[in-house]
Amino acid sequence: MEHLFLQPFSRLAVCGGTHGNELSGVYAVKELRKTQPDQFGSFSVAAVISNPRAVEACRRYMETDLNRCFTEALLSAPVTDATPYEVRRAHELNSQLGPKGSRDAMDLVCDLHNTTANMGICIICLNSDWAGLHLYKYIQERTTATPVRLILLDLAPSEVYSLESLGKHGLSIEVGPQPHGVIRADIYNWMKEALDRTLDWVQSFNSGATFEGGEVEVYIHERSVDYPRDPETQEITAAIHPQLQDSDFTLLRPGDPIFQTFSGETILYAGKELYPYFVNECAYYEKKIAFHLGRKVTMNIPSISVKKN
């Protein structure tokens, strides 16, 4: 099995409030500021409220979704008086945590999110980020309260639009179900556990531990499914079927119910076998997404350890 040597992690950023009404990350960052020194063992930690205006208003965003503002095109565009607040904030965060793709960027950016979907703990990272995959493996092996899964972004780093892409390595920790604008102790505890394990892993890695490779199960996005809509008004005409509701990451087979119309009819799934996730996510109504579909893949990841200078 291949063995890779990676540079030590000296600078980390933990971000919450990228979406201002996802409160577990907001309070986890505030607690981190209270309880942890800036220097955590062998590395420093910057605890960042990503979208302070949206957090203050307890809204997902003020003008546009901040977590879609970190493409190279948006980050390189000039800022004017007409630039939306979140795009200006993305430029500020790129200066603070990046610049994206540069040697000066944070070694690891960890962005904390909540979902209204029944996702448990879900790690999201790039398919080329071996550190992110090992972090997922480490968190999964040490968490028993809820399932831990990984969604792999099959994208080039330059194509990633989310905040964690500002770092040399990045991952998003998505935890649910939790209503937006609400804090639940159990969901907060799951997020806090995943964050604590992340910091533990970095400390162990920097200290010279070898993390063995092997097989990990991941989910790769195939497509998104919209709600049924009236062809004239574009209003939705059905809700997620009760059998699909709260069944994130449960294999969806042809003939399984997926929607129930408001007149009481059942709409069946007609595609190939795939796994749904972000089922009935509140924030995705505006994006015209009822759920995502992905395939489950087993990956072999290499062993890794710190590169000695």
Looking at the predicted structure, is the pLDDT value of residue 305 above 80? yes
Question: Average pLDDT in the 272-296 region?
Answer: 97
b/e code 28-50 from CB counts within 10 Å (16+ = b): bbeebeeeeeeeeeebbbbbbbb
Q: Does residue 38 carry a pLDDT above 70?
A: no
CB atoms within 10 A of CB 88: 14
Mean pLDDT across the chain: 95
- Per DSSP, the three-state class of 177 is coil
Q: Which helix (H) or strand (E) holds 151?
A: strand 148-153
* Predicted confidence band of residue 128 (pLDDT cuts 50, 70, 90): confident
Does 308 score more than 70 pLDDT? yes
- Percent pLDDT > 90 in the chain is 90
pLDDT category, 2, cuts 50, 70, 90?
A: confident
Residue 107 has pLDDT above 90, yes or no: yes
Domains and CATH numbers, the chain: 3-217+300-306 (3.40.630.10), 223-290 (2.20.25.160)
Q: How far apart are CA 268 and CA 253, in angstroms?
A: 9
Number of other CB atoms surrounding residue 185 within 10 Å: 8
| Least confident interval from 116-125, 143-152, 176-185, 223-232 | 143-152
pLDDT over 70 at 241, yes or no: yes
Query: Does residue 1 have a pLDDT over 70?
Result: no
Structural element, H or E, at residue 217: strand 214-225
| pLDDT of res. 41 | 79
Reading the block at residue 226, the tokens are 């919209």
How far is the C-alpha of 159 from the C-alpha of 305, rounded, in Å? 28
The CA-to-CA distance between both ends of the chain, in Å, stands at 23
Q: How confident is the model at residue 37 (pLDDT cuts 50, 70, 90)?
A: low
Q: pLDDT for 168-211, tens place per residue?
A: 999 999 999 999 999 999 999 999 999 999 999 999 999 999 99
CA 151 to chain centre: 8
221/7 Cα distance (integer angstroms): 30
Whether pLDDT at 156 is above 90? no
Sign, CA torsion 194/225/54/94: positive
- What is the distance between the alpha carbons of residues 274 and 295, in angstroms, rounded to a whole number? 5
Per-residue model confidence as pLDDT tens digits over 77-94? 999 999 999 999 999 999
In the predicted model, what is the mean pLDDT of residues 28-46?
Answer: 86
What pLDDT does 159 receive? 78
Which of 174, 186, 130 minimizes the C-alpha distance to 149?
174
Q: 34 is written with which tokens?
A: 């209270």
Q: Given a cut of 70, is residue 219 above it in pLDDT?
A: yes
When pLDDT is averaged across residues 105-120 and rounded to a whole number, the result is 98
**Does the structure show a pLDDT above 90 at 263?**
yes
Query: 104-113, 158-167, 268-277: which has the minimum mean pLDDT?
Result: 158-167
